[in-house]
Amino acid sequence: MQKFDSLLATLLYFGTLVPAVIALVMAATSREDAFRAADKQTKPFWLILLGITVLVDMFLGMLFLQIAGLIATIVFFVDVRPALRQVSGGGPKRRGGSSSDGPYGPYNGGR
């Protein structure tokens, strides 16, 4: 049972640390003006928040702060990163057509 607890603790450690480091690198390599154009918080805000998350995950190990940092990391990946990609032109590539095109061709409203 002790091996399982140790394995679980290790998985939780890396499961919170690795995504936080990846999010921090993504935030650091994104353009400053993309944050403003996407109408998200500023780049320094996300760098500080994700940097604190990485430090807490690495050194403090306080569960409440780790959970708060995990939530911040998830918000970055789910909300901020897609908005930055869309503003920066890194979104899904369109093959032409209008905005009413569906996956099988143009949507014509049932006509």
State the total domains in the chain: 1
Residues of the chain by 3-state class (helix, strand, coil), percent to 5: 70, 5, 25
pLDDT of residue 104: 65
**pLDDT tens string 7-24:** 777 787 788 889 999 999
Q: Is residue 13 part of a domain?
A: yes
Show Cβ contacts of residue 87 under 8 Å, excluding neighbours closer than 6 positions.
34, 37, 38
Report pLDDT digits (tens) over 102-111.
Answer: 666 666 665 5
pTM value? 0.69
Query: Is 11 among the domain residues?
Result: yes
- Find the domain containing 61 and state its range: 2-90
